[in-house]
Structure 1
Amino acid sequence: MDSVSITLVQLEVEYKNKQKNIALVSKILEAETSVGDITLLPELFSTGYIFNDAAEIHELCEDFTNSPTIDSLTVLAAKHETLIVAGIAELDNGQYYNSVAVIDGSGLRHKYRKVSQTKFDKQYFSRGSEALTFEHKGLTFGVAICFDVWFPEIMRAYQSVDVVLHPANFGGHHSFAIAQARALEEGCHMVTCNRVGQDVVDAFTATYCGGSRVYSPKGDLILELNEQQSVETVAIQDLSIAPQYNGVDVLDEIQQIASVLNR
């Protein structure tokens, strides 16, 4: 049975301060006796998420072909022999995206752009249009960003993966109930890395609740962090057939159900 270790870095993000956030991640990883095969950071870990206007975040977005943040994370990935999965604001051909970069010691391997949009995403970013799956250490991974997990239309693309890596900026705990439901529904591990701290804008203050969690395909809680900045490494084992779907061709069953209900 294949297994992979994942280090969750539940970061207290310093608002709009890329250099300090990158330095903080470096310090956190340096203090660990061992770092997992994968290191998971929160959504938009280097910038924060809510702004007074779109121009503030657009100034912080980076072209992934020439990204100081990705360059810095590449150095960390090589040093700690880990694959870093991190939420980074992206600029591409005049469009702005709430994205996740998958980075190893040689640089950017993959990227994913958030498909769902909160009212804030709609103000700042263009919508992503593709799911991301990739192989690592003998397992298949998918990537979803925060609000994505609320939509089975998005998550169904990950029916066949072993682990969904889920960077988030959750302010409340209801989203963890949704993440648990998705673990059961898709028959995979759900690994949510939330943030802590605040984004302070003119209209209000957004506070993030931490509580990063890992759920098994059975919906069992494997790991739960507190509401402070923290780091934890968890071992994930391959369950190639989720127990609730043993003996069932899930996609075929979905099609059969749809054909009956749509008559």
Structure 2
Amino acid sequence: MYVGTLQMDIIPKQKEANLNFIDSTLAQTAQRVDLLVLPKFFTTDIFFTTKEEFVALAEPIPHSPTCHRLADIARRHQTTLVGSIIEQDGDRLYNTAIVVNPSGYMGKQRKRHLPDYEKQFFDSGDEIHLFEVNGVRLGILICFECWVPEACRALAAMGAQMICHTANIMSSATYEALRVRAIENATPIICANRIGSEKAMNHFTGMTYLEPFHFYGANTSTDEQIEAGA
């Protein structure tokens, strides 16, 4: 399976512009990717100060404009896309990764382990799901969850053969944590991070593919791009 991660400088609150960037970048990619992992909150970014800002950007899943647009992008580029958005379910908000393929919406994974900042605005998910892509069982971690050993272990114990990490990283130490998780569970991890800065906070550049024992690759370019490999 040919997998890729998208490194992008997310434009805050500009969903259509960010989705257009994903679409156009896939169109310019020399080789089609079977799976593309997107950064956390790839349509909106994250650092807002009130719950009202998050509510204004939240969407029901799967009946949401972002899910429909991603399904169209996946169909036209014949790929599977994974990334997190702000989900609204009644009066609750979740940081939720969605999975879409050329046939449409496959499912979602709500973030189960929240850092203190997100606890102000989001509820925690309570279920774990795996998704099969090209015969490979995928699990999903969302950003901070890579620091929780049990989160990755639960996916591996369920039979995940690869883990997608949709992230918004501001420290190189997170990549070391990811490497440990890959080794602990003998499971490759594909991490997609955003680049750029927001509200004086710089995001640590990098897209990473971690193979537990024999390969550790990281891209440190500051360009918006897809990094891919088999």
Per-residue deviation, 1:140: 1.4
Which secondary structure does the structure 2 equivalent of 1:178 belong to?
A: helix
Instruction: Give me the CA root mean square deviation.
Output: 1.3
Q: How many residues align?
A: 228
Structure 1 runs, 4 residues or longer, greater than 3 Å off: none
Per-residue deviation, 1:7: 1.8
Q: Residues 78-106 of structure 1, C-alpha deviation per residue, up to 9 Å, x if partnerless? A: 00100111211111122100010000123
Is residue 210 of structure 1 aligned with residue 209 of structure 2?
A: no
Return 5+ residue gaps in structure 1 as ranges. Answer: 236-263
Superposed, 1:63-102 pairs within 5 Å as 63-102=60-99
CA contact (8 A) 2:207 2:227 kept: no
Q: Which residue of 2 aligns with 1:243?
A: none
Q: Residues 118-151 of structure 1, C-alpha deviation per residue, up to 9 Å, x if partnerless? A: 1221111111112221222121111000100101
Letter in 2 for 1:170: I
Per-residue deviation, 1:153: 1.6
Specify whether residues 158 and 65 from structure 1 end up closer, same or farther in structure 2 by C-alpha distance, changes over 3 A only: closer
CA contact (8 A) 1:35 1:233 kept: no
Per-residue deviation, 1:178: 0.2
TM-score, scaled to structure 1 = 0.83
| Separation in 2, partners of 1:225, 1:105 | 30
Percent of pairs identical after alignment? 28
Q: Which residue of 2 aligns with 1:224?
A: 219
Letter in 2 for 1:41: L
Within the candidate set 33, 36, 48, 2:33 is matched to 36
| Separation in 1, partners of 2:214, 2:164 | 15
Per-residue deviation, 1:225: 4.1
Q: Which residue of 2 aligns with 1:180?
A: 179
Superposed, 1:143-162 pairs within 5 Å as 143-159=140-156, 160-162=159-161
Return 5+ residue gaps in structure 2 as ranges. Answer: none
Per-residue deviation, 1:107: 2.0
Q: Which residue of 2 aligns with 1:190?
A: 189
Within the candidate set 7, 22, 36, 1:10 is matched to 7
Is residue 48 of structure 1 aligned with residue 37 of structure 2?
A: no
Q: Which residue of 2 aligns with 1:233?
A: 228
Per-residue deviation, 1:35: 2.4
| Separation in 2, partners of 1:108, 1:135 | 13
Letter in 2 for 1:124: F
| Separation in 2, partners of 1:110, 1:74 | 12
| Separation in 2, partners of 1:115, 1:227 | 30
Q: Which residue of 1 aligns with 2:123?
A: 126
Q: Which residue of 1 aligns with 2:136?
A: 139
TM-score, scaled to structure 2 = 0.95
CA contact (8 A) 1:139 1:162 kept: yes
Larger gyration radius, structure 1 or structure 2:
1
| Separation in 2, partners of 1:124, 1:220 | 38
